[in-house]
Amino acid sequence: MPELPEVEVTRRSFVQAIEGALVLDAQIGKTLRWPLGCATQQLVGLTVHTVDRRGKYLLIELSQGWLLLHLGMSGSLRFASDLPAPGVHDHFELVTSQGTLRLNDPRRFGAVVYVGSLADPVAQKLLGRLGMEPLSELFDLVQFQTGLKQRKAAIKQVLLAGDLVVGVGNIYASEALFMAGIRPTVSAAGLSRPRTARLHATIRSVLARAVAQGGSTLRDFSSSDGQAGYFQLEATVYGRAGLPCKVCATPIRMIRQGQRSSFYCPACQKP
């Protein structure tokens, strides 16, 4: 599943190219996760102002309204002026004066939703409960510490929930916890202030590094210009069960938490 770094990399790969573009046509194919919310012809004639991001949602600001776009489990975007004819897994196209934005989604868990404003109830249902943006200055340490003290669940599960801090997916939670020296099974409420501060810093560091590396390409992720990500090549624990820790050579362990795989070093990460 594309996580926050992959979505941010995707945004950066086409935002400047599409800004100011006039929408010439819009096409939607097979049903995605939710209905578009308007007739496709309603988008024709609008201008693309910019593309923002909230969590794992891309927010395409139009001269009237917004398109909220989610890549789901397997989605990816392409933006170019010379795309080939749509294929069987191409389910949405926004044709503009500066190129075509196309959503490819084999599993169709992605979504494109039109709303009149971000205050719209539909937008609030999707975005209103999202936590702090970890790459933003709004990722406040005190608020993070206070939020963790109110949660008794395992810290890995709290990070994945997304209501305290958004976008720390499975790969990046495993890596941030390793860098902070915290075992994924530790109760969030039981973390000391120094450990919480260290985790706060490592979340920012891991996600920023992942964006710089173009995200992680585990199966078929690539940005809108077709570039793969490379963060997975430098992972310290994720996907390395049984291999020696890169710091202490202790074999990395894998456990299941909430139907997700968690990877950690039993020596470097303390309970």
Cross-strand pairs, 92: 28, 103
Q: Indicate whether 202 and 257 sit together in one domain.
A: yes
Q: Indicate whether 12 and 116 sit together in one domain.
A: yes
Domain membership flag for residue 149: yes
Give CA separation, 28 vs 31, 90, 101, 104, 134, in Å: 8, 9, 12, 11, 33
Q: What is the mean pLDDT of the chain?
A: 91
State which of 99, 127, 155 marks the end of a domain.
Answer: 127
Cα separation, 206 vs 179, in Å, equals 9
pLDDT tens sequence across 205-216:
999 988 888 766
Measured N-to-C along each axis, helices 193-212 and 141-149 cross at an angle, to the nearest 10 degrees, of 120
Cα separation, 132 vs 111, in Å, equals 22
Q: Indicate whether 122 and 194 sit together in one domain.
A: no
Contact 228, 221 (CB under 8 A): yes
pLDDT for 218: 46
pLDDT for 74: 84
Q: What is the CATH number of the domain that holds 55?
A: 3.20.190.10
Could you list the residue range(s) of the whole structural domain that residue 221 is in?
Answer: 141-264
Q: What is the CATH number of the domain that holds 221?
A: 1.10.8.50
Domain membership flag for residue 173: yes
pLDDT tens sequence across 77-126:
999 999 999 999 999 999 999 999 999 999 888 999 999 999 999 999 99
Instruction: Kindly indicate the confidence band of residue 2, based on its pLDDT and cuts at 50, 70 and 90.
Output: confident
State which of 77, 95, 127 marks the end of a domain.
Answer: 127
Q: Indicate whether 153 and 182 sit together in one domain.
A: yes
Q: pTM for the full model?
A: 0.89
The percentage of residues in the chain with a pLDDT greater than 70, rounded to a whole number, is 93
Contact 113, 66 (CB under 8 A): no
What is the tally of structural domains in the chain? 2
* Residue located via tokens 């069960």: 241
Instruction: Kindly indicate the confidence band of residue 31, based on its pLDDT and cuts at 50, 70 and 90.
Output: confident
Domain membership flag for residue 68: yes
Cα separation, 66 vs 41, in Å, equals 15
Q: Indicate whether 161 and 234 sit together in one domain.
A: yes
The catalytic residue positions are: 2-3, 56, 260
Closest CA relative to residue 47, chosen from 94, 13, 7: 94
- At residue 254, does pLDDT exceed 90? yes
pLDDT for 215: 64
Cα separation, 268 vs 212, in Å, equals 26
Q: Reduced to 3 states, what is the DSSP secondary structure of residue 267?
A: coil
pLDDT for 73: 84
State which of 79, 100, 127 marks the end of a domain.
Answer: 127
Contact 36, 67 (CB under 8 A): no
